Amino acid sequence: MRVILVGLLAIGLSVLPAQADTIIGPSGKPLDQVKCKMDPQDCYRQAGKLCKGSYQVIDSESHSGGLLADIIPGPVTWYSMVFQCGPS
């Protein structure tokens, strides 16, 4: 029973949408940052939606974290991507 509950929790958390924030880059231009869990493709999809088309990836990284947050190491891989809307 416990295995089933953990499995359902993991599936439920994996469908949560990516989180996006806008930051100001070194050049003074706005950059967007998106954080996704379990699937790096979610970051690309979110960037495409936010930019309504093309974008340029400035930086990306991944690390392990907990199921609900990435502040402590855990069983979930978190992905982060910084991008700028427009053609590369």
Cα–Cα distance for residue pair 80/8, rounded to 1 Å: 24
Task: Please say whether the beta carbons of 34 and 19 come within 8 A.
Answer: yes
Cα–Cα distance for residue pair 63/44, rounded to 1 Å: 17
Predicted local distance difference test score (pLDDT) of residue 42: 93
Tens-digit pLDDT string for the chain (88 aa): 554 544 444 444 444 445 678 888 888 888 999 998 888 999 999 999 999 999 999 999 998 888 777 677 788 888 999 999 998 7
Measured over the CA atoms of residue 26, residue 58, residue 87 and residue 38, the dihedral's sign is negative
Task: Please say whether the beta carbons of 36 and 43 come within 8 A.
Answer: yes
Q: Which helix or strand (DSSP H or E) is residue 34 part of? A: strand 30-37
Nearest to 35 by CA among 66, 81, 68, 70: 81
Predicted local distance difference test score (pLDDT) of residue 23: 82
Helix/strand/coil for 32 = strand
